[in-house]
Structure 1
Amino acid sequence: MTARPSTMAAVLLTGHGGLEKLEYRTDVPIPRPAADEVLIQVGAAGVNNTDINTRIGWYSKGVTAETGAGGAAGFESVDAADAAWSGTALRFPRIQGADVCGRIVDVGEGVPRARIGERVLVRTMLRAPVEDRPFECWTFGSECDGGFAQFTVAPARDTYAVRSDRSDVELAALPCSYSTAENMLRRAFVGAERVLVTGASGGVGLAAVQLAKRRGATVVAVCSAAKAAEVRAQGADRTVGRGADLVGALGASSVDVVIDLVGGSQCPELLGLLRPGGRYAIAGAIAGPIAEIDLRTLYLKDLSVFGCTCQGDEVFENLIGYIEREEIRPVVSRTYPLREIAQAQRDFLAKKYPGKLVLVPPALDRTG
């Protein structure tokens, strides 16, 4: 057996800002698992919007623009004090990466050594660090180091064994996107009804399409024309072009549930699509965090609005079950060596590909 090295390759986020804040290093000390933690050798790590939003400080209330406006260069208006999921300042350097698939190679005190060798996924929205307090956020790769490295540590109770023939790359595309989508569908009580999904060609969007179909829904997906065929292949019953007149295309009060990942100026139109008693769930605002809505639409139509971030245990437990029963399969369009993270994020921001982009760390016998 080859001895484990003392240092690893990792990408360090050195502060809020542009792509220049991502520093690929090969001399980062390998972390040691503390009590109730496991050490994971990372097989692959997915790229997510939250990685970029965290880097550029988009969660700060000082930022009002869409993600893409500062995705490469960052924003000048960031207040570092409130620029993370939790609304508090991040500590730098930080190893990002909300998605991880890998194997447990060591355990801390209190964790059975029998877990060594397990192939695992890490729950993105960690519950152990906040002691299960509801509606508190502790996000893997944000409030603690994540998966953009050869090794990472995670709470043992938030690290789930997964039995699947899927590759590490495929499995690494699942935790953040699919748990976000599953949480939205659960919060909005989605069943066999008409559901509209915005941003449907992205990682979370395609996950929402698949998972809504799994629940028996009729899915209308909003996406670019270039990606419509792929979105329909993943289960959408109908696609509508991004930027289209949605009420004109679908009819007012014609949708039971809206799963919104885009936000921005289209929010009033989305509320107009909902039938009386309809539900609106949101977990992203890549088109901008500020929207002007007519509050009369909310109360006269008896609409329910769900902001969806924190997740109960059942969300990730459901996801593991779907994977092991082969009920879902992510779309992975490209993989990149970890050192090419900047290019991966450029491609992500350009919306060049449907589904997920995934980073692969170097093998242990080399660090380039």
Structure 2
Amino acid sequence: MKAVLLTGHGGPEKLEYREDVPAPEPAAGEVLIEVGAAGVNNTDLWTREGAYGAADDPEATGGWRRGEAMGFPRIQGMDVAGRIVAVGDGVAGTRVGERVLVDPTLYAGEGNGLIGAGFIGSERDGGFAEYVAVPAGNAHPVGSALGDEELATFPTAYVTAQRMLKRARLKSGETVLVTGASGGVGSALVQLAKARGAYVVAVAGPGKEERVREIGADAVLARGTPDLPAAASEASGGRPIDAVADVVGGDSFAGLLNALRPEGRYVVAGAIAGPSVGLDLRTVYLNHLEIIGSTMGTREDFADVVRHVTDGRVRPLLAGVYPLRDLGRAQEDFGRKSFFGKLVVVPR
């Protein structure tokens, strides 16, 4: 089959397009999916670059499981939409022909274990290929008129956003400040927060403000706005900021904490502007703030996303489609962040 192999940590030169890669066979409890489209994510870039570090050395080269060496070659690609074409032992043959969206999380142990969990496309081969084998429970049937390219914009970004909002306990009528709102997770946060009945103040790259309003944000601030706490208060019409959903980190961290009301909640699931931040602990303890880490999502979170997609409560934000052989270019374009929404690749 056609596939792109990641041959080691490094730049796009580590991605090798081949047409002679053996197609996988589904093991017991697995299904084989003919890939219609696969989305590009920050995790793909960070994994390729070995940018996750280690627990005792943030600058170390390492994969998603910090301190654990990755196996190469690896086929990346977490966000898969396609159709089941074969099943392994123990899986009902009636599943052949199902159109599915793939939950990318490889849960640790029984149930929803997220500590120590892995990812399809990181700890096992993923969707940047014509075929991928995945655990049957990760392949969710999806009934939608959307194309595979559109469906592939949802999995990682939307399940990450859904988990963040659950962890932050965001309720109807509350106000949430969302960073990185023109990216995959940020735009998912805007839509899912609105679906919960929240008032959304979004931070987006200059020139993308109107697009963020179109997907539901009540107010939008340009990235780099001076005095973020004051600007957020003005943008919210004086409403207190109950929660911050952050995927950016970096220099904006202190301003985001200062924007929160007393007893507010800050949840983070990314650090695209830098993982090391300055923290004045007095801001945290004097205001009784909560700082919450979040990543991936549970099986229930993913099922929630599939229902939102099926019901049309969230919309795909497809920014670009690339042929599989151009995955390196797709990842480079993704890193530039000049688009709005998500980029996907198609094997055919």
State the TM bucket, normalised to the shorter chain.
over 0.9
2:72 aligned residue: 92
- AA aligned opposite 2:20: D
Alpha-carbon spacing, 1:134–1:345, altered in 2? closer, same or farther (3 Å):
closer
- Equivalent position to 1:247, from 229, 237, 261: 229
SS at match of 1:352: coil
- AA aligned opposite 1:345: Q
Relative to the length of structure 1, the TM-score reads 0.89
Query: Which structure 2 segments of 5+ residues have no match?
Result: none
1:69 aligned residue: none
SS at match of 1:28: coil
Verify the 8 A CA contact 1:37 1:107 in the aligned structure 2.
Answer: yes
Deviations, residues 77-117 of structure 1 (Å, cap 9, x unaligned): 5434xx32354111000000010000000000100010000
2:346 aligned residue: 360
Verify the 8 A CA contact 2:162 2:297 in the aligned structure 1.
Answer: no
Verify the 8 A CA contact 2:159 2:296 in the aligned structure 1.
Answer: no
| CA distance in structure 2 between the aligned counterparts of 1:63 and 1:340, rounded to whole angstroms | 33
2:176 aligned residue: 195
Q: Equivalences for 1:267-306 in 2 at 5 Å? A: 267-306=253-292
| CA distance in structure 2 between the aligned counterparts of 1:124 and 1:213, rounded to whole angstroms | 25
- Equivalent position to 2:320, from 311, 323, 334: 334
Deviations, residues 209-234 of structure 1 (Å, cap 9, x unaligned): 00000001111110122111111100
Verify the 8 A CA contact 1:85 1:139 in the aligned structure 2.
Answer: no
| CA distance in structure 2 between the aligned counterparts of 1:194 and 1:63, rounded to whole angstroms | 37
| CA distance in structure 1 between the aligned counterparts of 2:347 and 2:131, rounded to whole angstroms | 9
> In the alignment, does 2:51 pair up with 1:58?
yes
Deviations, residues 7-41 of structure 1 (Å, cap 9, x unaligned): x0001000000110011111000000001000000
| CA distance in structure 1 between the aligned counterparts of 2:322 and 2:18, rounded to whole angstroms | 16
* Alpha-carbon shift at residue 297 of structure 1 (Å): 1.0
SS at match of 1:230: helix
| CA distance in structure 2 between the aligned counterparts of 1:156 and 1:123, rounded to whole angstroms | 10
1:4 aligned residue: none
Q: Equivalences for 1:69-88 in 2 at 5 Å? A: 78-80=60-62, 83-85=63-65, 87-88=67-68
Verify the 8 A CA contact 1:40 1:153 in the aligned structure 2.
Answer: yes
| CA distance in structure 2 between the aligned counterparts of 1:124 and 1:313, rounded to whole angstroms | 10
Q: Give me the identity figure in percent.
A: 52
Q: Supply the RMSD in Å over aligned alpha carbons.
A: 1.6
| CA distance in structure 2 between the aligned counterparts of 1:155 and 1:17, rounded to whole angstroms | 29
Q: Equivalences for 1:195-274 in 2 at 5 Å? A: 195-245=176-226, 246-251=228-233, 254-274=240-260
SS at match of 1:110: coil
> In the alignment, does 2:110 pair up with 1:131?
yes
SS at match of 1:293: coil
| CA distance in structure 2 between the aligned counterparts of 1:63 and 1:12, rounded to whole angstroms | 27
- Equivalent position to 1:49, from 6, 30, 42: 42
Query: Which structure 1 segments of 5+ residues have no match?
Result: 1-7, 65-76, 363-368
* Alpha-carbon shift at residue 300 of structure 1 (Å): 1.1
